[in-house]
Structure 1
Amino acid sequence: MGKRLFDWVMSTLGLLVLAPLLLLMALAIKLDSPGPVFFRQERVGRFGRPFHIHKFRTMRHDPSGKGLQITVGADKRITRVGAFLRRTKLDELPQLIDVWVGSMSLVGPRPEVPRYVAHYPADMRDKVLSVRPGITDIASIEYRDESAVLARAADPERAYIEEVMPHKLALAASYVDQASVWLDIKLIFRTIGAILRG
């Protein structure tokens, strides 16, 4: 089975099976704070094409979109329901929609906003963006506490660009070199295990 077919089949099944849970989470978000259910943000996809990623909204609604584009520590923008969704990674589930339409894959380098992609070295940029971005990848598993790490930095954004992002890119490049459906299945199970372990 090819990667795209695997993604389509699994995202279709996931959306059907998880539909009651998704509706329940959407209701909780609406009851918890004013604003839309989904958080949509421009990210850079395969071959550098922009797309809008879907997540459950976990922060107070900011129509201006001028807030910091990384989450640092106990961010005051995070809502009560949002804190739970982030801790359990349930806020990522709407990305199954992005996988279903073909903008993303279940597994692949996490998509970044254009602001940070601009800092990618040219050779690394071409390699990492040669595949569809994913809901999870090796870096997602290793950097589950990323916001806590950045909270300890004097300049969180600079620390992200100069310290965290290069390591993430190296892991993403390693994934591109080894990409296969079997590796994807392995990383999906590793992700589930990491979430269950908290």
Structure 2
Amino acid sequence: MSQIALPLAPANGAETIVVSPALQPVIDGLLAAQDWPYRTCILSGPPRSGKSLLARWFEISGLGDAVDDADSHPEDEVFHLWNRAQASGRPLLLVNNRGAGQWRVKLPDLGSRLGGSMTLNIGAPDDDLLVQLIEEHAARRGLALGEGAITFLLPRIERSHAAAEQLVQTIDRLSLERKAPVTISLLRDALAEGQDGV
């Protein structure tokens, strides 16, 4: 398990990308940008899975250009960027926030070209990645989870990046509201809030 640190300094500390075996194929695919068909790749994944962070890391690392929310950009603009990547030979990473296979391109020329591009998809987190995500979100908040917290949470949490982030946020809020350390009772309450859709 490792992390990729971004050379950025937001107010709440350096941003990192947690890397686990589940994410390693995506990292490897990004590092092989020079081998992408048509020098273009579409990166997809569930909400809060780090697509934007990976795009920023890709660009900051000098691996190529990246367009976040590419699926929301005008199609003629994306087509122009694709053409520029072909002319310059510089890799182009397009972040798709609609989910794998859900980006329906209407412009025929763009659709055919993107159809031949590399695709990378971030899947649901495995247990190792969930542990790392919970620990990373807690560390960024300065939240001490306490012994046994992860063991208690892991079999009970929804298997998603967004759920891990939301759960730590709820734990932190409850701990601050109650002016109390994180206990199993507090963790139960945080999980219950998540199940109630709060």
Instruction: Indicate the TM-score class for this superposition, using the shorter chain for normalisation.
Output: under 0.3
Q: In proportion to residue count, which structure has more helix?
A: 1
TM-score scaled by structure 1? Answer: 0.28
- Which entry has the higher C-alpha Rg, 1 or 2? 2
State the TM-score, normalizing by the size of structure 2.
Answer: 0.28
